[in-house]
Structure 1
């Protein structure tokens, strides 16, 4: 059975990546992965968790509230996991551990100085994994 890892930051691009994975490979096993980077507090729910957020609280929040945004995942019984760490490292490791055949991930399509200063998780993953990566832009 084909296994697809779909990292999510709950952006439009991540939603589109999940949809595309389901459309192109409807029989594949899919795992949603959210990487919580405790050094970055940019996602809406992170501020409410506070500085001392622990993995269990993040996991509960992911499962009960944030994952509800992914109606497709609930209907299709898609596996999900939350890990802590640097996104590129965690995604590459999760793909290896899951035995992923493909990674479908969204991108914010940053350019210029934004890309230089912020980096690109998708670009980092593509450079560090032997697994084929399908990058889905958040904008059409």
Structure 2
């Protein structure tokens, strides 16, 4: 069975990457990977209550919001892993341990100088992995 790793920050870009992975390979086993970088507080449900509270909030969001968008048969082949660390390192490690055949990643809508830094995680992953990477653009 094909295995796809989808790193997610639960943004629209990440959602588009997951949706495309499901459309192109509906029978694939998908692991969503959320990397909690303790140096960056970017998600609305991250709290100062600690790592376990954040992990629980992410798991609840995954169950309530992400899985609910897919049919039962597809949900059975999806799982979420939450890790703490630097995104590029964690994605590379997860792809290896999961035995990923593909990595589908979303991008964020940025303009101007921010565009230069747009793909820093995606670019880092592409430079360091031998797994094919599909970068799915954000659409306004």
User: What is the TM-score when the length of structure 2 is the normalising length?
Assistant: 0.86
Tell whether the 8 Å contact from 1:68 to 1:74 is kept in structure 2 after alignment: no
Give the aligned partner of residue 64 of structure 1. 60
Tell whether the 8 Å contact from 2:14 to 2:105 is kept in structure 1 after alignment: yes
Query: Which residues of structure 1 form unaligned runs of 5+?
Result: none
Give the aligned partner of residue 44 of structure 1. 44
CA distance in 2: counterparts of 1:73 and 1:21, whole angstroms? 12
Tell whether the 8 Å contact from 1:11 to 1:138 is kept in structure 2 after alignment: no
Question: Post-superposition shift, 1:84?
Answer: 0.4
Query: Which residues of structure 2 form unaligned runs of 5+?
Result: none
Q: Specify whether residues 32 and 73 from structure 1 end up closer, same or farther in structure 2 by C-alpha distance, changes over 3 A only.
A: farther
How many equivalent pairs are there?
136
Give the aligned partner of residue 15 of structure 1. 15
Runs of at least 4 residues of structure 1 off by over 6 A? none
Question: Post-superposition shift, 1:116?
Answer: 4.3
CA distance in 2: counterparts of 1:99 and 1:126, whole angstroms? 16
Aligned-residue CA RMSD (Å):
2.0
